Chain A
Amino acid sequence: MIPTTRLGIARLGVFCLLALPLVLLGVDVWREVAQPGSAFGPDPTEEVLHYLGQWGIRILLLTLAVSPASRLLRKPQLVRFRRMVGLWAFSYIVLHFAAFLLSQAGNSFETILAVTLAKVRFAVVGFYALVMLIPLAITSTRGWQRRLGPGWRKLHRLVYPAAFAAWIHLVWLSKGDFMDPLIYGLVLVLLFGERIVFRIRKERRAAAANAA
Chain B
Amino acid sequence: MLIKPPTDITPSEITPESVYRSRRRFMRESGTLAAGAATLVGTSAVGLPAEWLAARDVKPGEPIGEQMTSESDATSYNNFYEFGTDKGDPAKYAHELTVDPWTVNVTGEVERPGKIGLEDMLSGIDLEERIYRLRCVEAWSMVIPWIGFPVKEVLGKFKPTSDAKYVEFKTLHRPSEMRGQRSFFSNIDWPYVEGLRMDEANHPLAIFAVGMYGKLLPNQNGAPIRLVVPWKYGFKSVKSIVEIRLMKTQPRNTWNVLQPNEYGFYANVNPNVDHPRWSQASERRFPTTLFRPNRIPTRMFNGYDEVASLYTGLDLTRHF
> Residues on A close to B: CB < 8 A?
29, 32-33, 36-37, 40-45, 48, 102-107, 111, 114-115, 119-122, 173, 175-179, 182
Asked if B281 and A107 make an inter-chain contact with CB atoms under 8 angstroms apart, the answer reads yes
Known contacts being A102-B293, A114-B279, is A176 close to B81, with CB within 8 Å? yes
Known contacts being A107-B295, A177-B183, is A44 close to B279, with CB within 8 Å? no
Bound CA span A105–B284, Å: 10
Tell me which of A44, A114, A179 contacts B185 (CB under 8 A).
Answer: A179
Q: How far is the CB of B139 from chain A (nearest CB, A)?
A: 10
Besides A41-B88, A42-B87, A176-B258, 4 more A-B contacts (Cβ < 8 Å) are A41-B76, A42-B286, A43-B288, A105-B293
Asked if B290 and A33 make an inter-chain contact with CB atoms under 8 angstroms apart, the answer reads yes
Return 30 A-B CB contacts under 8 Å, by A number.
A29-B290, A40-B290, A41-B76, A42-B72, A42-B77, A43-B77, A44-B289, A44-B290, A45-B291, A102-B293, A103-B284, A103-B293, A104-B293, A104-B295, A111-B279, A111-B281, A111-B282, A114-B279, A115-B279, A119-B274, A119-B276, A120-B277, A173-B277, A175-B85, A175-B277, A176-B81, A176-B186, A177-B81, A177-B183, A178-B187
Q: How far is the CB of A104 from chain B (nearest CB, A)?
A: 8
Is B140 part of the contact surface with A, judged by Cβ < 8 Å? yes
Is B296 part of the contact surface with A, judged by Cβ < 8 Å? yes
Q: B76 contacts which chain A residues (CB < 8 A)?
A: 41-42
- Closest-by-CB residue of A relative to B293 is A45
Bound CA span A102–B289, Å: 11
Bound CA span A124–B291, Å: 24
Tell me which of A48, A106, A182 contacts B282 (CB under 8 A).
Answer: A106
Bound CA span A122–B138, Å: 14
Bound CA span A173–B85, Å: 13
Is B188 part of the contact surface with A, judged by Cβ < 8 Å? yes
Asked if B290 and A42 make an inter-chain contact with CB atoms under 8 angstroms apart, the answer reads no
Most chain A CB atoms below 10 A, which of B72, B73, B183, B288: B288
What secondary structure prevails in chain B residues at the interface with A? loop
Q: Mark B241-277, 1 if CB is under 8 A from A, else 0.
A: 0000000000000000011000000000000001011
Q: How far is the CB of B249 from chain A (nearest CB, A)?
A: 26
> Residues on B close to A: CB < 8 A?
72-73, 76-77, 81, 85, 87-88, 140, 183, 185-188, 258-259, 274, 276-279, 281-282, 284, 286-296
Bound CA span A122–B294, Å: 23
Asked if A42 and B282 make an inter-chain contact with CB atoms under 8 angstroms apart, the answer reads no
Bound CA span A42–B290, Å: 10
Q: B289 contacts which chain A residues (CB < 8 A)?
A: 36, 44
Most chain B CB atoms below 10 A, which of A32, A40, A43, A114: A43
Known contacts being A29-B290, A36-B289, A42-B288, is A120 close to B278, with CB within 8 Å? yes
Q: A182 contacts which chain B residues (CB < 8 A)?
A: 185
Q: How far is the CB of A177 from chain B (nearest CB, A)?
A: 4
Bound CA span A7–B141, Å: 52
Q: How far is the CB of A119 from chain B (nearest CB, A)?
A: 6
- Closest-by-CB residue of B relative to A114 is B279
Most chain B CB atoms below 10 A, which of A29, A33, A173, A177: A177
Q: B294 contacts which chain A residues (CB < 8 A)?
A: 106
- Closest-by-CB residue of B relative to A112 is B279
Bound CA span A84–B31, Å: 62
Most chain A CB atoms below 10 A, which of B73, B76, B85, B188: B85
Asked if A120 and B291 make an inter-chain contact with CB atoms under 8 angstroms apart, the answer reads no
Tell me which of B187, B282, B284, B290 contacts A176 (CB under 8 A).
Answer: B187
Known contacts being A42-B76, A45-B290, is A178 close to B276, with CB within 8 Å? no
Q: A175 contacts which chain B residues (CB < 8 A)?
A: 85, 258-259, 277
Q: How far is the CB of B83 from chain A (nearest CB, A)?
A: 12
Q: How far is the CB of A112 from chain B (nearest CB, A)?
A: 9
Asked if B77 and A41 make an inter-chain contact with CB atoms under 8 angstroms apart, the answer reads yes
Tell me which of B72, B259, B276, B292 contacts A121 (CB under 8 A).
Answer: B276
Q: How far is the CB of B188 from chain A (nearest CB, A)?
A: 5
Asked if B296 and A106 make an inter-chain contact with CB atoms under 8 angstroms apart, the answer reads yes
Q: How far is the CB of A205 from chain B (nearest CB, A)?
A: 41
Asked if B277 and A176 make an inter-chain contact with CB atoms under 8 angstroms apart, the answer reads no
Tell me which of A36, A104, A119 contacts B290 (CB under 8 A).
Answer: A36
